[in-house]
Amino acid sequence: MGLPLATPSLGASGGLEAVHLSFSVKHDGWVSPYPVLGIFVSPASEVSLEVEAGDDAGSFRLATEAGQLIESSERRWRWQAPTQHGLYSIRLVRLSTAEVMQLNVFVLVPLEAVKDEHLNGYRIGRYPRTPLKGLKIYAPPAGLVEVTSANSRTPVSPHFTLDQFVCKQDGGYPKYLILRERLVLKLELLLEEVNRRGYRCDTFHVMSGYRTPHYNKAIGNVRYSRHVWGGAADVFIDENPRDGNMDDLNGDGRIDLRDAAVLYDIIDDLYGRPWYAPFIGGLARYRKTRAHGPFVHVDVRGFHARWGH
């Protein structure tokens, strides 16, 4: 199952505008209806793309200036990524409507390039050799996205950019991260939902996205945090005013755990709906401390998990 193809139209007075196309693209177990999306692949790997349009009318064209198109039909393609890491572009065009889906393809730097816990001077640390409980989602990652000053603002979805997920550790460019498409799709879906509930929000403030194993250990977090595998984000609504803190969502004049609970409850209310099944994961609310304000943790671990502080 993927994202629903239709959502209520949201105007300037009611929140961000809906940005779904009349078609979706399917790849690697997820489905996206958005006009822009970042995807993350290994060098020279084959990328299979399939259009889901909900009807039989019209054909589509795939355009790319790099890599190799191995197989092409009106709605299915196999594309081989370049051997060199970096940012590349794939455009899918629906000919009957001229709608365009832009896929920003990040070819990864293989994990083997990390030497003595560093990659080009940026400290990564070490990934555990043994996956937690033997789960595949905790296996060492295939590689990392190289983030530069030139590509840091690249959209990975309509309302999120690559730099929002960069680890908070010190260090200049290049930086490196891991980001799961499924997490970005979940955040877009949640963003639409909070706007439908009346909380005006153009994007979430991502307080913590990816964490290198080194940084995750330095801040005393658990070894197998989903942040280390690019599948988690600590977020809050920061719109009125934009000051780096959670908004007063419950209107009681204070910023505290009750505001995180508003966002938590909106997200938790989606569980059990069949179309939400691909986004099942962890959910937690955290209270304000001296270091940060209240926030909500979300992840895409694939099974239900709840906690709170």
Give the residue numbers spanning the domain of 223.
24-308
Which has more confidence, 17 or 99? Answer: 99
pLDDT of residue 12: 39
Tokens of 212: 């290198």
**Confidence bin at 27 (pLDDT 50/70/90):** very high
Average pLDDT over residues 8-14: 39
Mean pLDDT of the chain: 92
Residue recorded with tokens 């988690």: 232
* Residue 6 within a domain: no
**Number of domains forming the structure of the chain:** 1
CA dihedral 180, 181, 187, 188 (to 10 degrees): 170
pLDDT of residue 55: 72
The answer to whether 14 and 195 have CB atoms below 8 angstroms apart is yes
**pLDDT of 14 over the 60 cut:** no
* Residue 11 within a domain: no
DSSP β-bridge partners for residue 118: 115, 123
C-alpha distance from residue 175 to each of 8, 21, 59, 148, 205 (Å): 38, 32, 40, 7, 20
**Confidence bin at 284 (pLDDT 50/70/90):** very high
Tokens of 2: 């993927």
Q: What percent of the chain has pLDDT over 70?
A: 93
Average pLDDT over residues 107-119: 98
From 264, 47, 240, 237, select the one nearest 159 (Cα to Cα): 237
Residue 86 φ/ψ region, left for φ over 0, alpha for ψ in the -120 to 50 degree band, beta for the rest: left
* Residue 265 within a domain: yes
C-alpha distance from residue 300 to each of 181, 226, 244 (Å): 10, 8, 25
* Residue 272 within a domain: yes
From 210, 233, 230, 213, select the one nearest 222 (Cα to Cα): 213
* Residue 79 within a domain: yes
User: How do residues 47-62 score in pLDDT, each as one tens digit?
Assistant: 999 999 877 667 899 9
* Residue 13 within a domain: no
**pLDDT of 90 over the 90 cut:** yes
pTM of the shown model: 0.93
Q: What's the CA gap between 124 and 235, in Å, rounded?
A: 23
3-state secondary structure 100-136: EEEEEEEECEEHHHCECCEECCEECCCCCCCCHHHCH
CATH label of the domain that carries residue 164: 3.30.1380.10
C-alpha distance from residue 288 to each of 101, 199, 242, 252 (Å): 39, 20, 17, 16
3-state secondary structure 8-50: CCCCCCCCCCCCCCCCEEEECCEEECCCEEEEEECCCCEEEEE
Q: What's the CA gap between 140 and 115, in Å, rounded?
A: 15
* Residue 234 within a domain: yes
pLDDT of residue 4: 36
DSSP per position, 34-101: SSEEEEEE-TT-EEEEEEE-SSS---EEEEESSSEEEEE-SSEEEEEPPSS-EEEEEEEEETTTTEEE
User: How do residues 28-82 score in pLDDT, each as one tens digit?
Assistant: 999 999 999 999 999 999 999 999 987 766 789 999 999 999 999 889 999 999 9
Q: Which of 54-58, 115-119, 234-238 has the lowest mean pLDDT?
A: 54-58
* Residue 17 within a domain: no
Average pLDDT over residues 127-140: 95
User: How do residues 161-208 score in pLDDT, each as one tens digit?
Assistant: 999 999 999 999 999 999 999 999 999 999 999 999 999 999 999 999
pLDDT of residue 94: 94
pLDDT of residue 7: 36
pLDDT of residue 57: 66
**pLDDT of 307 over the 50 cut:** yes
**Confidence bin at 2 (pLDDT 50/70/90):** very low
pLDDT of residue 309: 67
